């Protein structure tokens, strides 16, 4: 059986090397996603601000210094552009800068008297952008007050669950990695199966006296090799676009990654046997994986925000789907943190899903093997 | 008995059991919202060892369904099938060890070379590792594709692909070869080459089940012919036996018009097997000497109307006549 299995692997890898279209597709879609999210993450972390400092004194200098040093786990809060009031106003009017902060000439004098004001102008085309500017400026004012008069300021005692925040890019990176793994495994496996029908060779491969096992094992092994190649390329893209710490994908992540590969492959076999067309399979796989990414790739995100409306309905209806917990395992392991949910039961649940999907694929396969008039 | 298949030495089993035996086999396909289609109806036959058995039938007559049942891809709804005594549905591996199939679709990988296709098949079907290279070389030689073995199959002509599919089937040195319309869509030269190889295989002791709807293929190759139509047997025998089932000769009379031909038919219908097509009248004759009497009768009846036959000819009956007699002239799609 080993020689028959290896024959299937060699044949499929040779065919893939000569026609690598679907391998390329299995890489391109997740890589495009990574770069798309790299843009979003960039926009959500460091925001630009034109600062027109008309007042110079201990209060205004401290305030600007506070703005300059503000940062989160994702990086600096502000990209400050200090300029004269006229230039700042012109840049804001022309749309070259989205936010402008004017520190009026009376600021230091007014601050000493306890009633200072700053003027924040925001091109409020998007409420999320406006909120970012408002919250960060307020935070800077509060920080300045705390430094200036610690005896009379209101302070927050934070009790985060973990020692430090998880960066947005790493949080996103785990979801994108899940997307890449499931999509690559689904497309590679589905294509390997569908191609036997497209090339009208299905009858010949099921007529071997070695039975169906070399066919099944061969396809799985080939899929594994192809998916390793696809995911490796996506991981490199994650490293460069999102600075994802790929060196931390250590042994604690291998089990969940392997389970996601098996899950995607089981879905791929089902799609391949049901659709029997590679080109149809690609968009179907993309939609299915995207649904996973949006519904369970951010499970912990939705848990925090699912209050009413469609989001809560979606969260309630998908929270039991184990892909979320398994993805979180990768997410937390990379950070060296203990995940919210215990993993073994979800790994078991994933294994059950893999078996169910594979059994469904075998059932469809048996139906499809009822050859009539050729194929 | 030791025989050579694809040039490789293999010991054929001395099983006294027939290569293929079908007993009252019926196969049907269910269709959602429709009555099930009965593809094969109460079919029984047995294939003798070392002979070429031909299933001859029009499109949709159940030939491929029968092949699929013999190799275990389909289970019959009723009846029993045995391949060397084994049931294809219950002892599939035993059956598949003994036979090779050349499917209607060539089932070759276009992106692989001819040699790579054969290599994959040999390993996948369990040819002993030490024999693979030798068997591939001999199979390529048998189907005359050694020169093109390193070209991708996608560049092969239809005939070359059919020959390669035949060579592939020989790699496992089968006792029984199932050829499902093996020369479909190939040119005369390739067809002749395939026929020659198949005949050599049968002469070397391989039992062959051939399905075709080409009369000349059946005439050229078959030792035993079964004509099936709509899934059921309509005739069986050697070529001579089948030809004996219809008249040995036919008298063909050409009239100036179809009305004259029909009038002549009315004159003869009571006495002879007569068919009219347009302005042509065909009369089946058991005794050629009868022809002159018939022409005389027709001339007597129609001479006054100047509608007598313009010319006439004799033809020997062939398998096509037998085929059309049993399956009719209705179009099959």
Contacts of B32 (CB under 8 A, 6+ apart): none
pLDDT of residue B11: 43
User: In chain B, what residues touch A8 (CB-CB under 8 Å)?
Assistant: 120, 124
Please provide the size of chain A in residues. 375
A213-222, B23-32, B102-111, B296-305: range with lowest mean pLDDT: B296-305
Tens digits of residue pLDDT in B190-210: 888 888 888 888 888 889 999
pLDDT of residue B8: 37
Please give the Cα distance from B9 to B139 (Å, whole number): 13
pLDDT of residue B112: 93
Is the model's pLDDT at A164 over the cut of 90? no
Please give the Cα distance from A314 to A333 (Å, whole number): 26
- The minimum CA-CA distance between A206 and chain B, rounded to whole Å, is 9
Looking at chain B from residue 217 to 236, which residues have their Cβ under 8 Å from any Cβ of chain A? none
Residues of A with a Cβ under 8 Å from any B Cβ are: 3-4, 6-8, 10-11, 14-15, 18-19, 199-211, 214, 369-375
* CA distance readout (Å), A349 to A295, A325, A356: 18, 10, 11
- pLDDT-derived band at A363 (thresholds 50, 70, 90) equals confident
Please give the Cα distance from B116 to B112 (Å, whole number): 6
* Six-digit token string for B212: 């075709």
* Six-digit token string for A47: 């925001």
Interface check B115 vs A, CB under 8 A: no
A358-362, B136-140, B249-253: range with lowest mean pLDDT: B249-253
Query: What interhelical angle do A251-275 and A323-335 show, nearest 10?
Result: 150
Interface check B70 vs A, CB under 8 A: no
- pLDDT-derived band at A352 (thresholds 50, 70, 90) equals very high
Is the model's pLDDT at A332 over the cut of 60? yes
pLDDT of residue A317: 77
Adjacency order of strands within the sheet including B20-31: B34-47, B20-31, B78-83
A320-329, B22-31, B258-267: range with lowest mean pLDDT: B258-267
Nearest residue of chain A to residue B104 (CA atoms): A374
pLDDT of residue B275: 79
pLDDT of residue B4: 40
Adjacency order of strands within the sheet including B207-212: B99-102, B176-180, B207-212, B52-56, B224-229, B232-237
Tens digits of residue pLDDT in A265-319: 999 999 998 998 888 999 999 999 998 888 887 755 566 666 777 777 777 777 7
The values of phi and psi at residue B309, to 5°, are -65, 140
Q: What is the average pLDDT across B89-116?
A: 90
- The minimum CA-CA distance between B256 and chain A, rounded to whole Å, is 44
Is residue A292 exposed (0-12), middle (13-18) or buried (19+ Cβ within 10 Å)? buried
A25-34, A299-308, B38-47, B233-242: range with lowest mean pLDDT: A299-308
Tens digits of residue pLDDT in A175-225: 999 999 999 999 999 999 898 888 888 888 888 888 888 888 898 899 999
Of residues A287 and B266, the one with the higher pLDDT is A287
Of residues A8 and A143, the one with the higher pLDDT is A8
Do the beta carbons of residue B110 and residue B154 sit within 8 Å? yes
**Comparing C-alpha atoms, which of A132, A233, A172, A178 is closest to residue A38?**
A172
Q: What percentage of chain A carries pLDDT values higher than 70?
A: 94
* CA distance readout (Å), A128 to A36, A37, A206, A312, B38: 18, 17, 57, 21, 67
Instruction: Identify the DSSP state of B135.
Output: H
pLDDT of residue A163: 79
The values of phi and psi at residue A50, to 5°, are -85, 125
User: In chain B, what residues touch A217 (CB-CB under 8 Å)?
Assistant: none
pLDDT of residue A127: 85
The 3-state DSSP class for residue B73 equals coil
Nearest residue of chain A to residue B174 (CA atoms): A209
Region of B45 (left: φ > 0; alpha: ψ -120 to 50; beta: rest) is beta
- Taking the CA atoms of chain B, what radius of gyration do you get in angstroms? 24
Q: What is the average pLDDT across B313-319?
A: 75
The complex scores an ipTM of 0.74
Burial B9-46 (b: 16+ CB within 10 A, else e): ebebeeeeebbbbbeebbbbeeeeeeeeebbbbebebe
- H or E stretch covering B43: strand B34-47
Q: What is the average pLDDT across B171-178?
A: 89
Query: To 10 degrees, the CA torsion angle through A57, A59, A61, A66?
Result: 180
pLDDT of residue A301: 58
- A371 and B73 in contact by Cβ < 8 A? yes
């Amino acid at each position: 059986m080993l020689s028959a299995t290896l024959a299937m692997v060699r044949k499929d890898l040779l065919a893939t090397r000569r026609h690598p279209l679907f391998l390329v597709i299995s890489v391109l879609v997740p890589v495009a996603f990574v770069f798309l999210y790299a843009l979003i993450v960039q926009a959500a972390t460091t925001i630009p601000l034109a600062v027109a400092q008309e007042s110079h004194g201990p209060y205004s200098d401290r305030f600007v210094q506070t703005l300059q040093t503000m940062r989160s786990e994702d990086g600096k809060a502000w990209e400050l552009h200090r300029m004269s009031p006229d230039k700042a106003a012109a840049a804001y009017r022309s749309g070259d800068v989205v936010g402008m902060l004017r520190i009026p000439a009376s600021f230091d004098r007014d601050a000493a008297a306890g009633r200072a004001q700053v003027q924040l102008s925001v091109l409020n085309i998007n409420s999320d952008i406006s909120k970012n500017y408002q919250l960060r400026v307020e935070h800077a004012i509060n920080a300045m007050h705390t430094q200036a008069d610690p005896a009379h300021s209101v302070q927050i005692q934070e009790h985060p669950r973990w020692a430090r925040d998880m960066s947005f890019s790493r949080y996103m990176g785990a979801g994108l990695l899940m997307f890449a793994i499931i999509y690559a495994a689904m497309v590679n496996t589905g294509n390997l199966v569908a191609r036997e029908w497209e090339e009208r060779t299905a009858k010949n491969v099921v007529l071997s006296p070695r039975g169906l096992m070399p066919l099944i094992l061969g396809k799985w092994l080939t899929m594994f090799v192809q998916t390793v190649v696809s995911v490796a390329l996506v991981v490199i893209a994650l490293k460069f676009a999102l600075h994802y710490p790929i060196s931390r994908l250590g042994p604690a992540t291998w089990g969940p990654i392997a389970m996601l590969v098996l899950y995607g492959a089981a879905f791929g076999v089902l799609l391949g046997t049901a659709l029997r067309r590679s080109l149809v399979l690609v968009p179907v796989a993309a939609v299915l994986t995207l649904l996973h990414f949006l519904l369970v790739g951010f499970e912990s995100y939705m848990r925090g925000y699912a209050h009413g409306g469609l989001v809560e309905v979606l969260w309630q209806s998908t929270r039991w789907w184990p892909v979320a917990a398994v993805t979180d395992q990768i997410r937390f392991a990379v950070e060296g943190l203990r995940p919210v949910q215990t993993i073994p039961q979800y790994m078991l649940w994933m294994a059950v899903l893999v078996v169910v999907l594979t059994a469904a694929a075998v059932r469809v396969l048996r139906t499809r093997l009822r050859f009539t008039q050729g194929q | 008995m030791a025989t050579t298949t694809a040039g490789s030495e293999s010991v054929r089993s001395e099983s006294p059991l027939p290569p293929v035996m079908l007993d009252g086999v019926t196969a049907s396909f269910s269709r959602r919202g429709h009555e099930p289609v009965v593809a094969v109806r109460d079919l029984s036959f047995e294939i003798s060892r070392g002979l070429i058995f031909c299933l001859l039938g029009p499109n949709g007559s159940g030939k491929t369904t029968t092949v699929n049942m013999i190799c275990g891809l389909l289970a019959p709804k009723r009846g029993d099938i045995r391949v060397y005594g084994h049931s294809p549905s219950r002892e599939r591996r035993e059956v598949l060890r003994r036979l090779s199939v050349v499917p209607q679709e060539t089932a070759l990988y276009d992106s692989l070379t001819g040699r790579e296709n054969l290599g994959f098949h040999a390993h996948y079907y369990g040819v002993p590792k030490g024999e693979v290279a030798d068997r591939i070389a001999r199979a390529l030689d048998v189907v005359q594709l050694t020169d093109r073995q390193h070209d991708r199959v996608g560049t092969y002509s239809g005939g070359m692909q059919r020959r390669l599919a035949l060579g592939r089937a020989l790699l496992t040195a089968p006792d029984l070869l199932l050829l499902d319309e093996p020369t479909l869509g190939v040119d005369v030269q390739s067809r002749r080459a395939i026929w020659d190889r198949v005949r050599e295989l049968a002469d070397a002791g391989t039992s062959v089940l051939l399905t075709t709807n080409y009369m000349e293929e059946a005439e050229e190759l078959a030792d035993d012919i079964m004509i099936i139509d709509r899934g059921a047997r309509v005739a069986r025998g050697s070529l001579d036996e089948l030809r004996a089932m219809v008249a040995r000769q036919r008298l063909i009379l050409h009239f100036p018009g179809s009305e004259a031909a029909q009038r002549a038919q009315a004159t003869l219908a009571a006495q002879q097997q007569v068919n009219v097509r347009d302005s042509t009248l065909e009369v089946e004759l058991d005794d050629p000497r009868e022809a002159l009497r018939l022409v005389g009768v027709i001339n007597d009846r129609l001479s006054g109307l100047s509608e007598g036959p313009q010319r006439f000819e004799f033809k020997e009956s062939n398998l096509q006549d037998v085929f059309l007699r049993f399956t009719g002239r209705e179009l099959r799609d």
